[in-house]
Structure 1
């Protein structure tokens, strides 16, 4: 059991990235290094009062699955061939949320910056700059951030096994079932009847009112 937790924001996800409450409650972020870190006691208290879609998750588990991505808003819109020893390039005009797809000379794409192919000056100049944007490696490297893919969430492992207790209000909500049937009071005897038709009273199972109307 660890003592570090992030709190998922109820604002949902940005692309495939889970979004968390930022440090000291100053908004929300997909950057794990800007996410507020809670103790187990603090995380449990937050969950007890949480809104829908808001819950704590083990920070150690999330950190172990973090992926480095770069927001397109932090990069040039067009190729930047400023003097450099190394360059990387991403696909023009498509994003995962706000994050660019890095690629290699074989056309393989990934949002993970660590999968970006590093090329030299000659290759950078020969890239199709209508389809791809080339930038110096160091420029992109300084703007990368750690993110977590929401599809990798394992609630049992990252929440319950990490020491969190499911709040009673959530347990009660899970036990509630919605009946597919509609309640009617018989217009003749007044007794309660349940039926699948939600619009018209079909007949009474007690006094048989309605059953013989078409006879």
Structure 2
């Protein structure tokens, strides 16, 4: 195993994706490629003085399980079909995992946030699709896809202790306390932060009343 770690910030998770401390301390992001890389000794030092929601994790394990997702804020949210484009992708309208959209795979008749599972659709394919899908050029989504890591794939015994890290005493004390069972979402309508039990899709906004489409 290589001597590489990322520092997660569970407070800033978005949907099912874990957030990480960015390179040189420049904020937080669910984009794994923006995460700062620490050696084992650096990661242990960070953890020794960390907050209860900061967690160093083996970068090798994260890289092996990372999934390419697309933030709806970076792509058109209305159908875009043009005469000069031959390849398209389709995502479910009004359904998000955090900010990430669900892509259609026509072979399995299923949807997934994993962009690599999205079907590359021809012009003929998209003409017969339901109006519940938004069709855009495949290249637009491909250009802004990013690697993410799901909290469902986080295995501390393997990715933390098994990677050589030792839990600090103050973290042990903090984790004996009740953990917040809710996940943080930004409302896709007004942008306000909402906390909810559903970790995968946006439910509703307590500020503007926007209701997510969970169908």
Instruction: Provide TM-score, normalisation by structure 2.
Output: 0.76
Residues 45-76 of structure 1 show CA distances to partners (whole Å, capped at 9, x for unaligned) of 00000001111000000000000000000110
Assess, with a 3 A threshold, how the Cα gap between structure 1 residues 49 and 135 changes in structure 2: closer, same or farther. Answer: same
Match of 1:116 in 2: 118
Question: How far apart, CA to CA, are the structure 2 residues paired with 1:171 and 1:96?
Answer: 30
| Aligned positions of 1:16-35 closer than 5 A | 16-35=16-35
Number of equivalences: 175
| Aligned positions of 1:204-215 closer than 5 A | none
Match of 1:9 in 2: 9
Q: Which has the higher contact order (CA 8 A, sep 6+)?
A: 2
| Aligned positions of 1:1-150 closer than 5 A | 1-82=1-82, 83-105=84-106, 107-128=109-130, 130-150=131-151
Assess, with a 3 A threshold, how the Cα gap between structure 1 residues 126 and 58 changes in structure 2: closer, same or farther. Answer: same
Name structure 2 gaps, 5 residues minimum: 178-215
Instruction: Provide TM-score, normalisation by structure 1.
Output: 0.76
Instruction: Please give the secondary structure, in 2, of the residue aligned with 1:52.
Output: coil
Name structure 1 gaps, 5 residues minimum: 177-215
* Displacement after TM superposition at 1:172 (Å): 5.4
Question: How far apart, CA to CA, are the structure 2 residues paired with 1:173 and 1:150?
Answer: 19
Residues 101-134 of structure 1 show CA distances to partners (whole Å, capped at 9, x for unaligned) of 0013364110000111111112223323x31110
Structure number with bigger Rg: 1
